[in-house]
């Protein structure tokens, strides 16, 4: 199945979905709040998005192409840190969460894109591929230092204005590992480059959204529905400026939760709407 609405489940997921539909499964797991960021950079006659392929060793979505992202750290909700751009109260409105939780989501987006791509969305952050920056990135990965402490030590200010909230997806109820994920877009900052540093990925690349979708439809690239939908939507814009301008009209507070159903051919399909 090349579509997304009516997406056929891989065999490993289908058994779980059938048990769920039959009422023979555990109660749904509580989704963990997460954030993911689609980095964008200019390219000839358009732009490219940064994607990574999750390593086979990963417990969730192994082998799938995705964007940098990860779970929210509740400690970030009350962190005192330099902040530029929309306030946590404004992010609360955009994300549909209390201000403290919204701050933690934004912090997670900034932290994860630094951990997995080496790009730091903070005022004054340049040349983040140098040795000193790499040591800081490793401390974040090992949870030896929180994001707020790193920014304070470096004298940096988090740039929440560099992020645009695009969508919110919740993992289907039949899956054991569930996430309530906010999807953001962000232009690659000047004087910064992505680096293949994520221990969770075995391949990274920049790709035009339309080319990534074509790869999925041809069976060359494996992606979960939120990734495909995100790339399809981005493919409809001519440049990064148009993408960022479209953020104002996006609803990132209302969650999309794909639901399984039995198709006419007996297979299990996910329905998005």
62's tokens: 């192994």
Percent above pLDDT 70 for the chain: 94
Residue 89 lies in a domain: yes
Residue 257 lies in a domain: yes
Residue 210 lies in a domain: yes
Which residues, other chains included, contact 176 with Cβ-Cβ below 8 Å and sequence gap of 6+?
16, 29
Express each pLDDT in 109-145 by its tens digit.
999 999 999 999 999 888 887 778 999 999 999 999 9
pLDDT attached to residue 59: 47
**pLDDT above 80: residue 273:** no
Number of domains in the chain: 1
pLDDT attached to residue 8: 77
- Angle at the Cα of 238 from the Cα atoms of 237 and 244, rounded to 5 degrees: 60
pLDDT attached to residue 15: 84
Taking the C-alpha atoms of residue 61 and residue 152, their distance in angstroms, rounded to an integer, is: 34
Express each pLDDT in 7-44 by its tens digit.
777 777 788 888 889 888 888 899 999 999 999 999 99
**pLDDT above 70: residue 4:** no
29's tokens: 């797991």
Residue 1 lies in a domain: no
Assign residue 89 the CATH number of its domain: 3.90.79.10
The mean pLDDT value of the chain amounts to 90
Residue 190 lies in a domain: yes
Express each pLDDT in 211-228 by its tens digit.
999 999 998 888 888 999
Q: How far is CA 137 from the centre of its chain?
A: 18
Q: Could you give the dihedral angle defined by the CA atoms of residues 173, 175, 181 and 185, in that order, rounded to the nearest 10 degrees? A: -120
**Average pLDDT rounded to a whole number, residues 62-87:** 91
pLDDT attached to residue 144: 93
Rounded to a whole number of angstroms, the CA Rg of the chain reads 18
Express each pLDDT in 159-193 by its tens digit.
999 999 999 999 998 888 899 999 999 999 998 99
Q: Helix, strand, or coil here: 152?
A: helix
Q: How many CB atoms lie within 10 A of CB 4?
A: 21
First-to-last alpha carbon distance for the chain, in angstroms, is 17
Residue 2 lies in a domain: no
Domain that holds residue 240: 7-271
pLDDT band at 248 (very low <50, low <70, confident <90, very high): very high
pTM comes to 0.92
């Amino acid at each position: 199945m090349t579509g997304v609405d009516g997406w056929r489940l891989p065999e490993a997921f289908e058994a779980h979905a059938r048990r769920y539909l039959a009422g023979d499964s555990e109660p749904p797991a509580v989704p963990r709040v997460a954030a993911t960021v689609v980095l964008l950079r200019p390219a000839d006659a358009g732009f490219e998005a940064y994607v990574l392929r999750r390593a086979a060793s990963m417990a969730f979505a192994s082998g799938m192409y995705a964007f940098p992202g990860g779970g929210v750290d509740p400690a970030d909700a009350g962190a005192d840190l330099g902040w530029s751009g929309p306030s946590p109260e404004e992010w609360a409105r955009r994300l549909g969460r209390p201000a403290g939780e919204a701050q933690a989501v934004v912090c997670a987006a900034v932290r994860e894109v630094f951990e997995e791509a080496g790009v730091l969305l903070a005022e004054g952050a340049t040349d983040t591929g140098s040795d000193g920056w790499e040591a800081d990135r490793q401390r974040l990965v090992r949870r030896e230092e929180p994001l707020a402490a790193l920014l304070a030590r470096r004298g940096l200010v988090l740039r929440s204005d560099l992020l645009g909230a695009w969508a919110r997806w919740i993992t289907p109820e039949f899956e054991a590992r569930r996430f309530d994920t906010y999807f953001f877009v962000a232009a690659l900052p000047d004087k910064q480059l992505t680096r293949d540093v994520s221990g969770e990925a075995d391949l990274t690349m920049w790709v035009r959204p339309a080319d990534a979708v074509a790869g999925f439809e041809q069976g060359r690239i494996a992606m979960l529905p939120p990734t495909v939908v995100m790339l399809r939507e981005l493919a409809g814009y001519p440049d990064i400026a148009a993408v960022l301008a479209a953020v104002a009209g996006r609803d990132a507070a209302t969650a999309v939760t794909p639901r399984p159903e039995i198709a006419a051919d007996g297979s299990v399909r996910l329905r998005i709407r």
